[in-house]
Structure 1
Amino acid sequence: MKKTYLLGAASFVAALFLAFTAIFYFQPIRNAHPLLIVFITLVLFGLLVYSRSFVHTVNGWTRAKKISLAIFMPLFTVLAGLSLLGDQQYLADNHWLVKTAVYLGLFLTIALVVLSIIKLLLSIQTPAGEQKVSPFYVLLYMLPMLGASLVMFIAFYPAAMTPDSLSQWEQSETKEFTNWHPVMFTWLIMFLRKIWDSPGIIALFQVVALALTMGYMGYLMKRFKVNTWILWVVLIVAAIVPVNSIMSIIIWKDVLYSTSLLFFSLLILLLVKTKGLETKKVSFVLLFLLGSFMLVFFRHNGFPVFVITMIAALIMYRRMWKQLLPMTLGIIIIHQVITGPVYTKLDVVDSDPQEALSIPTQQIANIVTKNGDMTEEQREYINRLMPLELWPEKYNPSSVDPIKFSWGEYDRWVIYDDPAQYAKHWAQLVLQNPGLAVEAFLDETSLVWQMRLEEDGHMNRFVTNIYYGNEFNLLNQVIYPKVTYSAQLYLKVDTEAEEFLWRPAVYLFFITLFLYVAYLRNNWRIWLILLPIALNTAAVMATMPAQDFRYLFNASLFFYAALLISLLNFDDKGGSLRE
């Protein structure tokens, strides 16, 4: 009994330490409300008590799973802590021991939360195998997302459009196509406008496509015996979180692309869960061709995501190569034919190569702005790109657009006339100024890795209107003022907690954690399901031009799939936790 009391007291002291240090990580501790400190302390005390027995659970795991946990926990914890780092000037005048305690406490707090999540998810038992489910459930499970999206459609009728949207709308009229934005999306707009010549038809198409995909996710999870109550809670939360419903009515290629990436990932789940046997079904072949077609054509980085994922799938499930290879080659051939001879026949203008040079441009700009190490030859070359005195003026650490769209000053033909010369100077500057180069890279890609938006940070979340003053005289119409007003209030971001809903990094960290739990429950093949999202994130990170949520909208969608996947039992004897 005495030992129990001592353990409880020690846990409470530990919880108090974690509470103080974790709060101090985000704000001056003297500003924290006493009730907040008490609440956080009690929550952490509860988590300490809850996770105490987890050590005994781990003892029964296989050696490989134990090693994976020893690697995953410190790596995930530290990266998550750094991702939450904000402006901490208030810590500057504290003793180094205080600073060390604050950081250590925050990392330990994250570790405790992560261990508790792992234990909780692993404690939820889903029966192995699968059950026969009527396709009707796709329509049933799509209702939450469909309802939430239709509310946004009514609130901001007929759609929301930015200059990018209007550019493709214009191409659908002039038939003069440019591949700056995927031509396939422009062709879809042309087709839908024949049914109803209004942006509303494109918005409705996106709404239905997203709702059907979420319905298909629900159908698959029911087929794999996920608890019905859990399934409905996840689908309803996905619908009521404002991120997903408002994005569905904005006419961007990213919406359909993100939807197709979720759908493609669900097909990869089906492949892994059935050990490749699903490929023998005609229904899978048809869905695979549809999902893959949308994936490779609705954003440029979709094609490499598809190819690399399918190469990995062919290696892992090489016994099913007769089914997988023809489908893969079919999509590749279709893509090459359309983007080659067909685009040539239609005089499709290639996209601006500058789109792929966002990171190098930002690195050069940061080096010039911070007076980095440069030779006279390098200064002369950079001055040819844009006068040296303009770089500090145009440089925005989180967006390359001010430089890229300085049409009168930024001479991109210097790059196009001699790409090798540009590559040489950029590589030299990076090697001479590695610190400034890394700084520029992290600033430009903060949307991917930073969960906490800094106080002076900026990101583009969403729009609710058609761009004002457009030449097509497209206007929004308020159908029900109360619905529009309520939707505007619902979408408003007033607090830091609400801001987290619009940070893709939050979803990416949780996706990684959920898939790791799925690995612990099953086997290493589970990581194939994460591969499409990981590849897409890497591609976006390599070319990110600005802090636009839409670039990683797919992460907020796959988040819900990853949570449900973490509950699945793949019934693979070789991948169980127990020895």
Structure 2
Amino acid sequence: MNSVKERLPFLLEGYLAAFALANIGGIATTNIITLVLFLLCFQFFKYAAGRERECALSEEGKKLVHGRSAGKRRTAALVLGIFYTFCYVAAAHGELTGTLENGLFRLIYLGLTAAGLFLLFFRGCGVLFLLLEKRSERIRRIVEGNAKKAGTGQADGVKNSGQPFWLIFLLLLACWFPWFLYDFPGVMTPDSLSQFSQAGGLIGYSNHHPFVHTLLIQLFTSLGNAVFHDVYAGIACYTVFQMIAMALIVTYGLQVLFRRGAGKKLCFCFLLFYALVPYNGIFAVTMWKDILFSGLFLLFVLSVYQLLPLCCEGRRFGERPGLLVLFGISGVLVCLMRSNGLYAFVFSMPFLVYAFRRHWKIILPLQVLVLAVVFLVKGPVMEAFDVAQPAFSESLSIPAQQIARVVYEGRELSGEQKELLGKTVEYSVIADYYQPELSDPVKALIQYGHPEYLEAHKGEYLRLWVQLGLKYPLDYWNAFVDQTKGYWFPDAPGLLTNEGISPNELGLSWQPVLRGQAVTKIVEILSKLYTIFPLYGLLYSIGTFTWAAVFLFANCLLNGKKENWILYLPFFAVLLTLCAATPVASDVRYAYSLILSMPLLIHAGLEIAGPGPEANAKKADRKENSRQKSPFQRNK
């Protein structure tokens, strides 16, 4: 009887989890697979509870030297379970209510699915946290044992020699080079063509696309034209520059991870990701600001990552002046290369000051200096070059979509509200222009209407936005979810990569060096592999990278080096800015900074705190300080 009572909760949990999985997968209730799902979930939940019980009863589970209590681990799993369930239900609630029509039954159906999802996420995160905690303790014991045998206190997992830098660099270029030949002279979309036109003096400068990036395009295309007297050679010069820059950044990042103990096998997996996943090669040859921004963002976080040990050990930043220079230069370029880069930097400032509080007299002035340079460029410098600033409507993706959603749903508006909207756009066509996952049509409607009236009466439109939000909150919520869910919900990307040069009025056309039916077929297969093979497809899901970053952040606080938490905040800031103003619901390039830096975040989240050369140096400093403060004991 007791065994039946013990199993009853797991039977219920297994049924709810199987219910959720069958609903998500569209599996009929009569399908035998539902029984398989139930048995698998039941056994998994039993296993998870058993491992927790064993950990709680054992001496190691009661008190881990470097670990966290079972209560904190359970709390972290609970929070993540709620977070993941909320994201899933918010994004896919319309597909999780079955074929039911009654509102109450639909709500019950959705509630049962949410309960099953929560149990899966909660139990799954709990098991992962427990396994990672055990792993950390096991590795820590091995490191401590090796350090005692060697008598140096140095961890075997921390290497002092780097990987062959140039070999990795050349390997990356070799893997990306076929994409360069296929997309020669480089991938250019309408955004790229607009910047190219500015660089060539065909139209005036605009900071709608970063002015600094436009100057880079101008520099290399002009150089190529001067040397080769060919416009395509000029474009190719910029593409080669970007390929080299991204390969250098990635190689440097892998070298840093290897030196910090990531290990050859893990670094090799990271190298395969950078070299062989197609979108990395295609982005390397695409003339987009987002690509260099992502590389610079990785450099910025790498500088923070390497400064952390100095701060934790109480050492002077003067020992690594190059890192401070890298922090400052990459910080300036991050702020200038994308508008949300500036917001992410400002958001991170107080947290960086806290993380480096022992050296706040250095880090705070350095951050202020970065902002001073940025505002100098954005102000006097751009004014001197007569650079036009982005239209105000460009920052209204979410509010404009929410108001358009209200109109699209046919909600009642007062005559005064309709009149106010009509002064900027043609009210009768708003519903026709509204697209749930793309704000460009509505913003274009504003641009081709009367944007000057909007800019002159911002307060009135703000009141209108608030009024409609209070009256139709569900429409606002649905508009927000549809516009942003690609960045926080694991699903297929809406926009991914492009090929060659888009149709244009400049007379530019795609000039592929690698061509032919066989080449086209290979590219087509490579571009569709993620839709065929499970797990590999997750590398194309922005939401998966977001969920992974959240989990790694939590594991860092539970089982790893707690000081690494600061590395995740700049990426969370970028994601928050996307949720506040993204024009597209799911475009990989907008979140490429997170994807490109995922190897760093993986290692930072799994890195363990333990003895090594850093901890050994800290102990030596303490001993030396103690001797200096106790002359009596020293003489004695």
TM-score of the aligned structures, taking structure 2 as reference length: 0.80
1:55-454 to 2 correspondences below 5 Å: 55=53, 56=55, 59-60=62-63, 61-62=68-69, 65-66=72-73, 68-69=75-76, 71-82=78-89, 85=92, 87-88=95-96, 90-92=98-100, 100-125=111-136, 131=158, 133-134=160-161, 137-142=164-169, 145-174=172-201, 176-196=204-224, 197-275=233-311, 277=315, 279-280=317-318, 281-406=320-445, 410-452=449-491
Residues 161 and 467, structure 1, Cα contact 8 Å, conserved in 2? yes
Q: State yes or no: 1:506 paired with 2:511.
A: no
SS in 1 for 2:597: helix
Q: What's the offset of the Cα at 1:132?
A: 5.4
Mapped to 2, the partners of 1:263 and 1:531 lie a distance apart of: 15
Q: Pick from 519, 522, 528 the counterpart of residue 486 of structure 1.
A: 522
Letter in 2 for 1:464: E
Q: What's the offset of the Cα at 1:201?
A: 2.6
Counterpart in the other structure of 2:628: none
1:517-536 to 2 correspondences below 5 Å: 517-522=555-560, 524-536=562-574
Q: What's the offset of the Cα at 1:364?
A: 1.2
Q: What's the offset of the Cα at 1:168?
A: 0.5
Counterpart in the other structure of 1:26: 24
Mapped to 2, the partners of 1:269 and 1:477 lie a distance apart of: 40
Deviations 1:524-565 (A, max 9, x none): 543311111111111121111123221111222232222111
Gaps of 5+ in 2: 144-154, 225-232, 613-636
Stretch moving more, 167-176 or 463-472: 463-472
Counterpart in the other structure of 1:477: 512
Distance 1:502 1:411, change over 3 A: farther
* RMSD (Å), alpha carbons: 3.4
Q: Which has the larger radius of gyration?
A: 2
Q: What's the offset of the Cα at 1:136?
A: 5.4
Q: Pick from 537, 551, 561 the counterpart of residue 575 of structure 2.
A: 537
Residues 15 and 41, structure 1, Cα contact 8 Å, conserved in 2? no
Q: State yes or no: 1:462 paired with 2:484.
A: no
Counterpart in the other structure of 2:553: 515
Distance 1:173 1:48, change over 3 A: farther
Identity, in percent, stands at 22
Distance 1:47 1:64, change over 3 A: closer
Q: What's the offset of the Cα at 1:25?
A: 2.5
When the two structures are aligned, how many residues end up with a matched partner?
A: 567
Distance 1:302 1:572, change over 3 A: farther
Gaps of 5+ in 1: 574-579
Letter in 1 for 2:210: P
Mapped to 2, the partners of 1:119 and 1:350 lie a distance apart of: 51
Q: What's the offset of the Cα at 1:14?
A: 7.1
Counterpart in the other structure of 1:576: none
Counterpart in the other structure of 1:550: 589
Residues 271 and 278, structure 1, Cα contact 8 Å, conserved in 2? no
Q: What's the offset of the Cα at 1:21?
A: 2.0
Deviations 1:450-475 (A, max 9, x none): 2235xxxx822211221024414242
Q: What's the offset of the Cα at 1:173?
A: 0.7
Counterpart in the other structure of 2:149: none
Counterpart in the other structure of 1:577: none
Mapped to 2, the partners of 1:143 and 1:84 lie a distance apart of: 42
Residues 523 and 572, structure 1, Cα contact 8 Å, conserved in 2? no
Residues 362 and 397, structure 1, Cα contact 8 Å, conserved in 2? yes
Mapped to 2, the partners of 1:444 and 1:78 lie a distance apart of: 19
Deviations 1:475-532 (A, max 9, x none): 2314254444312311126459576443312210111101211111246543311111
Q: What's the offset of the Cα at 1:160?
A: 1.0
Mapped to 2, the partners of 1:139 and 1:40 lie a distance apart of: 52
Letter in 2 for 1:28: G
More RCO (CA 8 Å, sep 6+): 1
Letter in 2 for 1:356: S
